[in-house]
């Protein structure tokens, strides 16, 4: 009998995996028209992998939605199109064309306004257009202080907004998926994963990720504590006096080119990345330019952002 117990232990990654699969299946069972938000980053990669596991051997029972800003890294677009084809997923790409046509950019309009138009508004428009009543997102509670209180099922009103004071208690693993006409729910199956878990799982499961996560010599400018990438055609997003230099670095999170910082790193393999993450003294969000105001994430979430 003693043997049987040790045989029936789940490692913490397998326990997290089982929980995430359970959540995804509940959503597909209880909602009419779910969609998975796919941001091409490592968390999205893990979420998508879990979704494939959840519905195996059937194909994914929902499409992937990428809300594009036009400012993503070329490597991200390439990876997105390749991976969606590879696994046979239906990929929907939406952009806030109106804002893009008006030349929305972070340098002139500020990071908050640019994000508000291209990401938040782009997302709300795409969700409304698709008539989705549930949208999976890859956010984790360990990312930021206000995320720590996010529910797995996060109810949004008909304007897509989040009211932190009015969230449903979540008990056991029983999720209440009942909503009124016009309301929708954002679902976070990776709620209980940490950055470390994500990397360990990517390693254990051999999940493909965008090569930008691996260290390589890249053309960058230094802006305060951040390394900002320089891409052909985006020189106008550089600030006065910034000089591009080659730096051995990698990205801990992926976003828009002008707003995503890299870190100096030699970690060129997944094992080295895990080791680096284990030793890291700074949280990954620090390399995102948008998060630095005091309540910025909470404010963005109230307006409908993830």
Partner 1 sequence: MTEYDFKLSQEIELLRLVAVGSVDDGKSTLIGRLLVDTKGAFEDQLLAVRKKRGQAHIASPEEIDLAMLTDGLAAEREQGITIDVAYRYFATPKRKFIMADCPGHEQYTRNMVTGASTANAAIILIDARNGVMPQTRRHTHILGLLGIPHLIVAVNKMDLVGYEQSVFEAIRAEMREYCAKQGIRDLICIPISALNGDMVAVRGEHMDWYTGKTLLETLETLSVMDDIDRKPFRFPVQLVNRPQTRELPDYRGFMGTIASGTVRVGDEVMVASSGLKTHIKEIVTFDGNLEEAFAPQSVSLTLTDEIDVSRGDMLVHPDTPPQDTRDLSANVCWIGAEPLTRRKKYLIKHTTNTVKAMVAEIEFRRNIHTLEQEAADALEMNEIGRITFRLQKPMYYDAYADNRVTGSFIIIDTFTNNTVGAGMIV
Q: Which C-beta is closer to partner 1: that of 69 or that of 260? A: 260
Q: Which C-beta is closer to partner 1: that of 95 or that of 283? A: 283
Q: What b/e string do you get for 128-140 counting C-beta neighbours within 10 Å, with b at 16 or more?
A: eeeebbbbbbbbb
Quick one: three-class SS letters along 234-293? CHHHCCCCCCCEEEEEECCCCCEHHHECEEECCCCCHHHHHHHHHHCCCCHHHHECHHHC
Q: Which C-beta is closer to partner 1: that of 101 or that of 206? A: 206
- Shortest spacing between CB 96 and partner 1, in angstroms: 27
Tell me the residue ranges of DSSP E strands in the chain. 34-37, 64-68, 91-95, 134-136, 153-156, 184-187, 216-223, 226-229, 245-250, 263-264
- Shortest spacing between CB 70 and partner 1, in angstroms: 29
Q: Which C-beta is closer to partner 1: that of 18 or that of 248? A: 18
- Shortest spacing between CB 98 and partner 1, in angstroms: 31
- Shortest spacing between CB 301 and partner 1, in angstroms: 10
If you count them, how many residues does the chain have? 306
- Shortest spacing between CB 164 and partner 1, in angstroms: 5
Q: Which C-beta is closer to partner 1: that of 30 or that of 75? A: 30
């Amino acid at each position: 009998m003693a043997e049987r117990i040790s045989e029936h232990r789940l490692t913490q990654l397998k326990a997290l995996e089982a929980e995430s699969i359970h959540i995804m299946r509940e959503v597909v069972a209880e909602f009419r028209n779910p969609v998975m938000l796919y941001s091409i980053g490592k968390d999205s990669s893990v979420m998508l992998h879990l979704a494939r596991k959840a519905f195996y051997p059937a194909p994914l029972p929902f499409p992937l939605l990428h809300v594009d800003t036009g400012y993503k890294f070329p490597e991200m677009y390439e990876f997105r199109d390749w991976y969606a084809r590879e696994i046979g997923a239906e990929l929907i790409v939406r952009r806030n064309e109106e804002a893009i046509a008006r030349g929305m950019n972070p340098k002139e309009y500020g990071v908050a306004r640019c994000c508000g138009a291209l990401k938040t508004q782009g997302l709300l428009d795409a969700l409304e257009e698709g008539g989705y009543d549930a949208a999976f997102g890859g956010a984790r509670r360990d990312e930021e202080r206000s995320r720590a209180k996010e529910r797995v099922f996060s109810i949004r009103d008909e304007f897509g907004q989040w009211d932190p004071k009015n969230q449903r208690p979540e008990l056991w693993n029983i999720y209440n998926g009942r909503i009124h006409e016009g309301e929708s729910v954002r679902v976070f199956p990776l709620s209980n994963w940490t950055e470390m878990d994500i990397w360990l799982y990517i390693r254990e499961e051999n999940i493909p990720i965008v090569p930008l996560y691996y260290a390589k010599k890249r053309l960058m400018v230094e802006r305060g504590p951040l390394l900002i990438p320089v891409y052909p055609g985006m020189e106008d997003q550089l600030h006065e006096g910034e000089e591009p230099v080659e730096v051995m670095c990698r990205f801990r999170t992926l976003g828009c080119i002008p707003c995503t910082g890299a870190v100096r790193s030699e970690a060129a393999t997944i094992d080295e990345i895990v080791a680096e993450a284990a030793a890291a003294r700074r949280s990954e969000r620090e390399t995102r330019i948008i998060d630095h105001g005091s309540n910025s994430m909470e404010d963005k979430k109230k307006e409908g952002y993830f």
